[in-house]
Structure 1
């Protein structure tokens, strides 16, 4: 069995560290390019409220019923068993693919290089800004090194893993605060574009009013603003994935009841992510225009290097030395830490699936695999860790540019899969909400024979109830609607001529 050795502080930082991978540092620039700095901030806030509402649904159900694999167990209980098990496998797929994508992104960040002509444009103090060692080294070397370290950390007892991620999470929070202060200082050094930021004009204005697709179609006016904001909204979601890992820790959380871990973790992560992400996007948007050449990347899929990060561009444009190297080094550390958590989450999902015989084919071979995946050693499901880790070898596709693009498409499919997972869990919550209220009022089947004490326990207004949010059923409906719409229209650009079958499949195969 899994051991309950994680503390509340460990769970908090595991959740935050998982969300903060490379997504913010690269997607923030793409969001600013597509929608403008102000609209990019709004996109982060809107996407954040959708994720927050969905996580609150999972938080309430898990706090009341702390089970293994809650993200598929609740759909299994409250919707249909087959739906729940399907969600379990989709979740495992999305987490292992994200593991490979995070490792692959590290290899891209190592290829740090600026065109000398770009540096001369802003009179950068040096005529070269690059990591020659990273450019000359085969990406397979970095993939192998980081995959091995990720595996070793996940083989540690879970309490040691929690301590490591607590330190990593503190480092990430400190860096984000420093990033906000750095961009604020840059903007305060002199008047950039006007006396006040709210009077900035294009390309520093609040939002773009045009949007180009595949260099063949350009939408302007209200339609341009809508398409740019919607596309930015789906882009920002990639940098907001991973909140659900705090619920994967429920079976290993020793403070689950005592300190209201899930309640605190859900709210703390929400505040940290929404505030820090929005401030990062806002402050850097004051310093880098949306028409910067390094931000002009509207590819639907793919992972860029550190030279495409809007935060590094802010330092380069202001001729600040050393800082670009420090930022790029952190952009390697951040997805590395997230990859560790991705393997943790994937292994716990696979271990939970192994406890359900119906989730596996009835052949003897698969039964043998299932029984081994269900086993643990020192409280760690090592077989589940190892099997999930093997899928991370997809990161070796980064050695081939065309294959790396395919892995990028798989990562897009994983994001779409997460939207479906959250939508299904919101539906499960609405059913859970109805049944909990029925249990509290004695309207459930009489054969349950609920005592008055048990009925009182299910009253959401009672102090015994572990975690609840006001108007949560409305938030569940809001999150469900948002996730469904985003999943249905996340790949709308694939329909624009010329039609891309590969991008279409990547965007909609999860559906």
Structure 2
């Protein structure tokens, strides 16, 4: 396309759009780096850490659990390093499938989008249900389905007002979770050394006594660590939400790299720190039997009303993850429609730049997935959950593969790597290493009976998406030109 006067055409940049292609309403760039960080943390920190971390320790042992989370954090860094370059090169909303469509092929982009959308739609139903069950601690007479509808209405409203309101809500939701984890790390670390000012019992210093399991460093063998590491990959899912929000971020070239670096560092400190403290205080044989290791640790250090406090924190964590998930679902449908791969009704925006129809459909399908968990738990819901679990690693694989092909094409078409606002380090080693590690994790799922259903249903779903796309659009397909703000395009 002919550039505007004074405008340069960049290698491998998104095609510029003409005035006739740009509607009067568009997504608004209203979010800062702090919003991106908390959106990513909101998507990652959920019931997995607050409720299931004890099971992780019981499977891998104290040291093994820490190693598994360190490996998970390393993989997150690899994926985020690739995501940074792509998110600035393609600063559009719901960007994962844009990366894949431009760098690999439109069929891959189409499949990536529907995988990720389904992943979060299924998660919505789970978050609402779990929140409703926890609310019964305080309101046992109120049915769970009532709380599900209340929470769905709250999250829908927060998302429907504007991206800025969503970002602010997610900031405060996530802050509650982060403060709870920081409190656990600080108070728990003090208790490990025998300092428990809140406790009337004042237990002695534990130091590293729990790490001496009596059965070696890895009481269930190193295979327990490997299986746990696979589960940790899923626990870290949500960190990629920064890419979904790229199209509604102020100054993407500045704020996206800052958010990526901060997110990886904070996840490393929060997750590994929390696991280390829990492993040091709760014996590994008992860790898998507790309903919430956070409650046990807070009671150990003498925090009053620990069960009620953690009930509130966990509900907040669930709603935070649901809030981020609903945002992601709406932007994925919006972006798919812009590409011509979903009904054009999904591109309609409110005056404040919110894809309201896409948002409405996403919340409704989320509630439908909730219903399937009740009326078809062993059939439809099992399939949905399995595909959703497979989708996490599949999307990460598409991100690192997209970065590899994006950079190669950028250089081939005359681009200068030094001119990129953000460069994935150690190219091409980093994306290749990330892809291989993720591929190994997918293959390893076949040997875990608790996760193998993800392959049984996930792989056929991917094949069906490719087949549908090729039958409808042909092998090459067709691509629209997504809107981007010219001032946020990569600078030469």
Distance 1:278 1:31 in 2: 12
- The equivalent residue for 1:329 is 312
Specify which of 422, 434, 439 is matched with residue 479 of structure 1. Answer: 434
Deviation at 1:245, TM superposition (A): 1.2
Specify which of 275, 278, 291 is matched with residue 308 of structure 1. Answer: 291
CA contact (8 A) 2:401 2:431 kept: yes
Q: 1:228 to 1:6 in 2, by over 3 A?
A: same
Distance 2:358 2:33 in 1: 24
Deviation at 1:160, TM superposition (A): 1.8
Specify which of 114, 117, 121 is matched with residue 96 of structure 1. Answer: 121
- SS class of match (1:308): coil
CA contact (8 A) 1:76 1:84 kept: yes
User: Is 1:133 matched up with 2:143?
Assistant: no
User: Is 1:253 matched up with 2:249?
Assistant: yes
- The equivalent residue for 1:60 is 85
- SS class of match (2:416): coil
Deviations 1:268-318 (A, max 9, x none): 0000001111000001111111211x614xxxxxxxxxx611111234456
Distance 1:207 1:328 in 2: 33
Specify which of 414, 417, 436 is matched with residue 460 of structure 1. Answer: 417
- The equivalent residue for 2:219 is 209
Distance 1:194 1:167 in 2: 35
- The equivalent residue for 1:493 is 448
Distance 1:33 1:405 in 2: 30
Specify which of 373, 376, 384 is matched with residue 410 of structure 1. Answer: 384
Specify which of 256, 261, 265 is matched with residue 259 of structure 2. Answer: 265
CA contact (8 A) 1:38 1:206 kept: no
Distance 1:6 1:503 in 2: 35
Specify which of 271, 280, 285 is matched with residue 277 of structure 1. Answer: 271
Specify which of 215, 225, 228 is matched with residue 224 of structure 2. Answer: 228
Question: Which runs of structure 2 are paired with 1:307-456 in the superposition (5 Å)?
Answer: 308-316=291-299, 321-357=304-340, 359-360=341-342, 370-378=343-351, 379-394=353-368, 396-397=370-371, 400=374, 403=377, 407=381, 410-439=384-413, 442=414
CA contact (8 A) 1:413 1:509 kept: no
- SS class of match (1:492): coil
Distance 1:421 1:438 in 2: 26
CA contact (8 A) 1:37 1:206 kept: no
TM-score by length of structure 2 reads 0.80
Structure 2, unpaired ranges of 5+: 1-25, 196-201, 463-492
Distance 1:391 1:407 in 2: 13
Q: 1:428 to 1:30 in 2, by over 3 A?
A: same
Q: 1:38 to 1:330 in 2, by over 3 A?
A: same
CA contact (8 A) 2:59 2:224 kept: yes
Deviation at 1:74, TM superposition (A): 1.6
Deviation at 1:235, TM superposition (A): 1.6
Q: 1:501 to 1:333 in 2, by over 3 A?
A: closer
- The equivalent residue for 2:106 is 81
- The equivalent residue for 1:169 is 174
Distance 1:308 1:395 in 2: 25
- The equivalent residue for 1:449 is none
CA contact (8 A) 1:96 1:392 kept: yes
CA contact (8 A) 1:41 1:278 kept: yes
Deviation at 1:192, TM superposition (A): 7.3
Deviations 1:80-101 (A, max 9, x none): 2111111111111112112222
Specify which of 289, 295, 305 is matched with residue 288 of structure 2. Answer: 295
Deviation at 1:401, TM superposition (A): 9.1
Distance 1:338 1:206 in 2: 37
Deviations 1:86-130 (A, max 9, x none): 11111111121122222222234346xxxxxxxxxxxxxxxxxxx
- The equivalent residue for 2:488 is none
Distance 2:99 2:455 in 1: 30
Deviations 1:481-511 (A, max 9, x none): 121121222242329xxxx996763575556
Deviations 1:177-196 (A, max 9, x none): 11211222332337979874
Distance 2:165 2:285 in 1: 46
Deviation at 1:432, TM superposition (A): 1.1
Distance 1:97 1:344 in 2: 14
Deviations 1:193-214 (A, max 9, x none): 98741684227x874332xxxx
Q: How many residues align?
A: 430
Q: 1:234 to 1:192 in 2, by over 3 A?
A: farther
Distance 1:55 1:264 in 2: 11
Specify which of 33, 44, 59 is matched with residue 69 of structure 2. Answer: 44
Distance 1:193 1:398 in 2: 49
User: Is 1:237 matched up with 2:220?
Assistant: no
Of 420-429 and 401-410, the range deviating more from structure 2: 401-410
Structure 1, unpaired ranges of 5+: 112-130, 211-224, 297-306, 361-369, 443-457
CA contact (8 A) 1:22 1:335 kept: yes
TM-score by length of structure 1 reads 0.77
RMSD after superposition: 2.8
Deviations 1:52-96 (A, max 9, x none): 211221210121232343211121112121111111111111121
Deviation at 1:164, TM superposition (A): 2.0
CA contact (8 A) 2:210 2:279 kept: no
Q: 1:83 to 1:70 in 2, by over 3 A?
A: same
User: Is 1:197 matched up with 2:204?
Assistant: no
